[in-house]
């Protein structure tokens, strides 16, 4: 069976079952790796931002004595003080800390930024912007310090840590916030994950290549096994088994071995006569076609002969079918041994036999056939010493004629041998 006759060949199925799981596994590894890396960086970011916030608060406490308070200037702009020290301004301690630590620091009055190092892409300060509602609820209203890994800070997703600021009376009056852009963290994740992705792809390609090659070889062996079995199904019992089927000591080799045994068994059933163990008429027809082609292509000479056991019906009627079968077996044995090295013999039907002499002139075939007839005459029916004889019609095949024409001439010769007294060869 041709490969393209399969809608879903075994090879394509094995490729799918190899590449799809491998691809899914690679995607899963990359996804899990990215998740683990992101979680690790997020945890690290939380630790760093908490530490940065604590450091900012510590430095402010060390440099500036007093509590935080917020007042408005003559322009109604909020001014942030710690004790008597004004924190607002461009060249402030907070700005320097922000630059050194690579973080953005904001101080909130309630949920409004009154002091910040945050700027947008155009360089505009985030002063006066509000914190997200969730931050206000968690930090201002509940008085908790909270870390966020995906909070909107000045219209940008960021990692941020908010710590409440307490006034003189201990009430929450605002917040200190330190944050880093989510884009920076995303870049870190990508930088960490890219090598993992590269390694996974290389490993997947390597193992994929090995698996595809291995599965391809198995699929190819199975395909050849299928082709071999189809040859047997079409009656080509002499088709040579591909050596690739026998290279591995595996199930395919066992199948091939069983197939070979089955081929021999089927060939015996299909091409051989069970009683005489000679080739049957089916295989004889194939042989006749082969020699016709050889005569046309190579100019080889052949002679064909049809032989019939004399008075065989009388043997059956007188001595029974068991004796008739025994006579057939003994005759077949004499014909088979007599044709060794000379050609081909088959049971043509009933008590008739076909003999094909290879590459012989008619006179040589006649001489050799006479020796075979003498051998048949040595067969004696036990009990009454009745001799078995045969009649033969022999003829030479003529180049260009059909096998049927040659067989008809041999059959006519056999008829003459029967009518002329049997136990003889008619040759022309």
What's the N-to-C CA distance of the chain in angstroms? 47
Question: How many separate helices (H) and strands (E) can be counted in the chain?
Answer: 10, 15
- Distance from C-alpha of 131 to C-alpha of 110, rounded to nearest angstrom: 9
Which residues are within 8 A (CB) of 19 and not within 5 positions of it... i.e. 6 or more apart? 208, 212
| Structure tokens belonging to residue 135 | 């931050």
159 CB neighbour count, 10 Å cutoff: 24
| DSSP-assigned letters across all residues of 81-104 | EETTEE--SSS-HHHHHHHHHT-E
| DSSP-assigned letters across all residues of 187-233 | HHHHHHHHHHHHHHHHHHHHHHHHHHHHHHHHHHHHHHHHHHHHHHH
| Phi, psi of 249, deg, nearest 5 | -85, 80
| Structure tokens belonging to residue 54 | 């604590």
Catalytic, out of 62, 168, 236, 351 = 351
- Distance from C-alpha of 286 to C-alpha of 277, rounded to nearest angstrom: 17
Which residues are within 8 A (CB) of 60 and not within 5 positions of it... i.e. 6 or more apart? 82, 87, 93
Beta bridge partners of 304: 356, 395
Beta bridge partners of 390: 309
Q: Residues 170-184, buried b or exposed e (16+ Cβ, 10 A)?
A: eebbbbbbbbbbbee
Q: What's CA 266's distance to the chain center, in Å?
A: 32
| Phi, psi of 418, deg, nearest 5 | -65, -45
- Ramachandran area for residue 367 (φ above 0: left; ψ -120 to 50: alpha; else beta): alpha
The residue written with tokens 């009745």 in the block is 386
Which residues are within 8 A (CB) of 217 and not within 5 positions of it... i.e. 6 or more apart? none
Is 351 one of the annotated active-site residues of the chain? yes
Supply the residues annotated as catalytic: 351
């Amino acid at each position: 069976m041709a490969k393209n006759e399969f809608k879903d060949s075994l090879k394509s199925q094995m490729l799918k079952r190899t590449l799809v799981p491998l691809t899914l596994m690679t995607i899963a590894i990359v996804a899990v790796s990215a998740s683990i890396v992101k979680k690790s960086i997020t945890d690290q970011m939380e630790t760093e931002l908490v530490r940065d916030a604590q450091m900012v608060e510590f430095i402010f406490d060390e440099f500036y004595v007093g509590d935080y308070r917020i007042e408005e200037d003559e322009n109604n702009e909020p001014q942030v003080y710690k004790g008597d020290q004004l924190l607002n301004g461009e060249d402030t301690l907070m700005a320097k800390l922000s630059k050194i630590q690579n973080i953005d620091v904001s101080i909130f009055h309630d949920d409004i930024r009154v002091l910040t190092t945050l700027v947008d892409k155009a360089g505009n300060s985030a002063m006066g912007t509000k914190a997200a509602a969730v931050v206000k609820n968690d930090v201002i209203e509940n008085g908790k310090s909270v870390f966020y890994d995906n909070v909107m800070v000045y219209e940008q997703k960021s990692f941020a840590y908010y710590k409440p600021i307490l006034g003189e009376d201990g009430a929450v009056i605002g917040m200190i916030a330190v944050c880093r852009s989510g884009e920076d963290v995303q870049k870190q994740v990508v930088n960490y994950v890219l090598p993992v992705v590269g390694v996974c792809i290389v490993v997947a390609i390597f193992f994929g290549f090995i698996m595809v090659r291995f599965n391809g070889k198995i699929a190819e062996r199975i395909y050849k096994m299928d082709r071999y079995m189809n040859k047997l199904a079409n009656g080509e019992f002499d088709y040579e088994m591909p050596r690739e089927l026998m290279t591995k000591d595996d199930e395919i080799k066992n199948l091939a071995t069983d197939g070979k045994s089955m081929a021999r068994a089927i060939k015996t059933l299909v091409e051989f006569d069970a009683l005489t163990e000679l080739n049957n008429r089916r295989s004889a027809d194939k042989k006749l076609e082969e020699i016709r082609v050889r005569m046309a292509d190579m100019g080889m000479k052949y002679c064909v002969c049809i032989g019939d056991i004399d008075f065989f019906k009388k043997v059956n009627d007188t001595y029974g079918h068991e004796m008739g079968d025994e006579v057939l077996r003994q005759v077949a044995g004499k014909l088979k041994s007599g044709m060794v090295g000379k050609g081909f013999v088959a049971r043509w039907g009933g008590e008739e036999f076909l003999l094909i002499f290879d590459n012989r002139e008619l006179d040589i075939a006649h001489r050799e056939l006479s020796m075979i007839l003498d051998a048949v005459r040595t067969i004696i029916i036990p009990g009454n010493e009745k001799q078995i004889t045969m009649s033969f019609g022999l003829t030479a095949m003529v180049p260009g004629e059909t096998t049927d024409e040659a067989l008809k001439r041999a059959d006519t010769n056999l008829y003459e041998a029967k009518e002329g007294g049997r136990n003889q060869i008619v040759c022309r």
